Amino acid sequence: MSSRSLDFFEMLAKDSRFTLVEYLADRVENVRFFSYGSNMNKSKFKKDMKDACKNLGLNLSKIDKTKLKLDEFAEKQVLLNFRRELSNESDKYGRAFSISPFLEDKVEGICHDVHVSVLPAFLKKEGLFSSKPSYKLIKVCVLGEDQDVLTLLGLKPKPFKCLKPEKIQDTLKYVDDSIRGAEEFDVEHSDMIEMKKKLQDLIRTREKHV
């Protein structure tokens, strides 16, 4: 496919995103999400949303900045019969958190609203607009919520033991950011700490063989 064709499809996809936002804005104001990784980190969430807006060509001066932050009603919630794993391949972080069905296990995270005006930015930063998306949206039933909410399921499972050397520190920083976010909302995150220890062990093991 020629670069001109790719430009056309990119333009078409971008136009469709904004049409979708206009359509949704007439019907709903917010979309409810369950987040379980670095999206719990308030400062990182805001920065990533700003970066995503810029990547989409949105004019930040025309966007209500409060819509780029985790909303004030974000709160800790529990997703049953899933577990959190550091298993989704990420171009930016090396590996990122995902969830997978697992009976009698649970994942603590937060439920929060994303305003429809910045929904494209949220989905962009999660890699849903890529030709090879990192995640897909699924509906889940979360304790404490009256209706199903949306969350992200990883599409690129790969053990972090296969991490490229140049990506290990990126993954470690991502996990640290996620841990700080979990602490902000008093979310149980012993599994994150365990994964961080395994990453540090992997770093030490590789250093011994250098």
Report which of residues 57 and 189 the model is more confident about. Answer: 189
Could you tell me the pTM of the whole model?
0.86
Per residue in 116-165, pLDDT tens? 889 889 998 998 877 788 899 999 999 989 999 999 999 999 987 788 88
Count of domains observed in the chain: 1
Does residue 93 lie within any of the structural domains? yes
Neighbours of 71 (CB within 10 A): 13
Does residue 141 lie within any of the structural domains? yes
DSSP tag of 38: G
pLDDT over 70 at 12, yes or no: no
pLDDT, residue 4, reads 43
pLDDT, residue 50, reads 94
Does residue 7 lie within any of the structural domains? no
Report which of residues 23 and 196 the model is more confident about. Answer: 196
pLDDT, residue 116, reads 86
Neighbours of 43 (CB within 10 A): 13
Query: How much helix, strand and coil, in percent to the nearest 5, is found in the chain?
Result: 45, 30, 25
Does residue 4 lie within any of the structural domains? no
Does residue 184 lie within any of the structural domains? yes
With cut-offs at 50, 70 and 90, classify the pLDDT of residue 3: very low
What is the extent of the structural domain holding 63?
A: 29-208
pLDDT over 60 at 10, yes or no: no
pLDDT, residue 197, reads 96
pLDDT over 90 at 1, yes or no: no
Cα(171)–Cα(191) distance, integer angstroms? 15
Does residue 9 lie within any of the structural domains? no
Does residue 67 lie within any of the structural domains? yes
pLDDT, residue 27, reads 65
Per residue in 38-83, pLDDT tens? 999 999 999 999 999 998 888 888 888 889 999 888 999 999 999 9
pLDDT, residue 120, reads 86
pLDDT, residue 21, reads 60
Q: For the residues 178-206, what does the mean pLDDT come to? A: 95
Cα(32)–Cα(151) distance, integer angstroms? 9
pLDDT, residue 5, reads 38
Share of the chain above pLDDT 70, in %: 86
Does residue 8 lie within any of the structural domains? no
CATH number of the CATH domain containing 60: 3.10.490.10
Burial (CB count <10 Å: 0-12, 13-18, 19+), residue 90: buried
Cα(66)–Cα(26) distance, integer angstroms? 20
